[in-house]
Amino acid sequence: MMHPRQLRQQIHQGLNFGLVLASAFMFWKFLSVLTSSESPVVVVLSGSMEPAFQRGDVLFLYNRDNYVDVGDIVVYQVKDKSIPIVHRVMNEHHIEYTTSAQQQQQQQQQAKSSGSEYSPLVHTSGGKQLLLTKGDNNPVNDLGLYGRNQGYLNRDDDILGVVKGYVPFVGYITILITENVYLKYAMIGFMAISALLSNEE
Amino acid sequence: MDLNLFFIFESLGYVESFSLIDVRLALGIGCCAISGATFYLDKHSEFKESINLVAAAIVLYSILASVLWGWSKFVEKNIKFVGYKKSQKLIFKSSANKTDNLYSYEIKIGDNEPIIGSIEYNKVFNENGFLDFEEFKGYLTKEVEKIDKKKQ
């Protein structure tokens, strides 16, 4: 039977490796919550945005602005398609939901009863922004990349974030790991070994 | 060398206390559990639905990870062995500078003044690079006996 000290040492070594993974994951989620983006850092995988971005560039996204401007470069992910796409916004539409006449009357009465001098003038109860995108290096817009019967991207549902910064070519290592299975396993193995040996100095 | 402390002090009648390492393990397991739960949440729910829970998990994880770091840095520090012989507590601390040929240690038993000393590595490692356990044990046994004699 294993001695209690040995057992603790083995758990400790396993934990060292677990904590490396846990910390990396929690830091990723922290960035995710901070930027309100599901994927706050992405790597450019294709040349569709050349010359602005090259394959391998790392992009930093921010998704806390309510609206996206025409000309912004956004990263979007269409439902049922796993790979996010980095393209520029070419066109946008606002759709505002107006309240019914009855709701307007109720709002005005509430304003009067609460002693407010002004009646509410804004009749919108919310809205959404629809976007059309295109890769700078592509001859046509992205309609063909969207889902079936989807004419626009929905700002709230499809956009992962607006590009706010980038680091050139650093993401090539990710591309290599993604495209080469053996390199991926070698990296995981290297991480595991370095975590296990970190206490052996 | 630190891995052999248990055998040396056990031969001197000290039973190891695992309270320090147990706290560290509990904090580490707590961190991994929170991270695992967050991963599960991430995989099984929409980002917008789970963002508040994830934020709470991040706060909790940060607190636990900070406590874990503080525990290792300030509470455990260089403590490599804690043991008891009856009600008498022995604390052994050790440290080493990468550029020195010295293994520095501090032994404290009960309320006695701690003994601070050092061992040259070449005195306890043979030319093949293996630890001479008996030699190392001899050094520490002498130190413990010194404290015991002082008490008497």
Per residue in B88-117, pLDDT tens? Answer: 899 999 998 888 888 899 999 888 888 898
Q: Are B42 and A29 inside 8 Å of each other by CB?
A: yes
Least confident of A7-16, A99-108, B27-36, B41-50: A99-108
Q: Are A33 and B51 inside 8 Å of each other by CB?
A: yes
The Cα of B116 is separated from the nearest Cα of chain A by a number of Å equal to 22
Whether the predicted interface score ipTM is above 0.85: no
Domain residue ranges in chain A: 12-98+129-170
Domain residue ranges in chain B: 2-17+78-151, 19-75
Query: How far apart, in Å, are the Cα atoms of A44 and each of A64, A137, B109, B134?
Result: 21, 13, 62, 61
Does the structure show a pLDDT above 50 at A120? Answer: no
Does the structure show a pLDDT above 60 at A128? Answer: yes
Of A12, A25, A29, the CB nearest to B25: A12
What local confidence, expressed as pLDDT, does residue A183 receive?
Answer: 87
Instruction: Quick: pLDDT tens for B53-93.
Output: 999 999 999 999 999 999 999 998 889 999 998 888 999 99
Sign of CA dihedral B69, B75, B77, B83: negative
Cβ proximity of A57 and A48 under 8 Å: no
Q: Which residues of A are catalytic?
A: 48, 87, 142
Q: Which residue of B has its CA nearest to A13?
A: B25
Instruction: Quick: pLDDT tens for A152-192.
Output: 999 998 999 999 999 998 988 888 888 888 988 998 898 88
Instruction: Sort out which chain A residues have CB atoms less than 8 A from B54's CB and list them.
Output: 29, 32-33
Instruction: Sort out which chain A residues have CB atoms less than 8 A from B25's CB and list them.
Output: 8, 11-12, 15
Q: Which residue of B has its CA nearest to A18?
A: B32
> Residue A104: pLDDT band by 50, 70, 90 thresholds?
low
Q: Are A22 and B21 inside 8 Å of each other by CB?
A: no
Does the structure show a pLDDT above 50 at A121? Answer: no
Instruction: Sort out which chain B residues have CB atoms less than 8 A from A15's CB and list them.
Output: 25, 28-29, 32
Q: Are A8 and B25 inside 8 Å of each other by CB?
A: yes
Cis-peptide into A51, omega within 30 deg: yes
Instruction: Sort out which chain B residues have CB atoms less than 8 A from A26's CB and list them.
Output: 34-35, 38, 57-58, 61-62, 65
> Residue A199: pLDDT band by 50, 70, 90 thresholds?
low
Q: Which residue of A has its CA nearest to B65?
A: A23
The Cα of B25 is separated from the nearest Cα of chain A by a number of Å equal to 7
Greater confidence, A188 or B33? Answer: B33
What local confidence, expressed as pLDDT, does residue A119 receive?
Answer: 44
Task: Return the HEC string of chain A.
Answer: CCCHHHHHHHHHHHHHHHHHHHHHHHHHHHHHHHHCCCCCEEECCCCCCCCCCCCCCEEEEECCCCCCCCCCEEEECCCCCCCCEEEEEEEEEEEEEECCHHHHHHHHHHHHHCCCCCCCCCCEEEEEEEEEEECCCCCCCHHHHCCCCCCCEEHHHHEEEEEEEEECCCCHHHHHHHHCHHHHHHHHHHHHHHHHHCCCC
Instruction: Sort out which chain B residues have CB atoms less than 8 A from A25's CB and list them.
Output: 35, 38-39
Q: Are B16 and A5 inside 8 Å of each other by CB?
A: yes
Q: Which residue of A has its CA nearest to B95?
A: A201
Cβ proximity of B106 and B93 under 8 Å: yes
The Cα of A52 is separated from the nearest Cα of chain B by a number of Å equal to 29
Is B26's Cβ below 8 Å from some Cβ in A?
Answer: no
Greater confidence, A124 or B87? Answer: B87
Q: Which listed CATH number (3.90.650.10, 1.10.10.60, 2.10.109.10, 2.40.170.20) goes with A12-98+129-170?
A: 2.10.109.10
Instruction: Quick: pLDDT tens for B106-149.
Output: 999 888 888 898 898 888 888 888 988 888 888 888 888 888 77
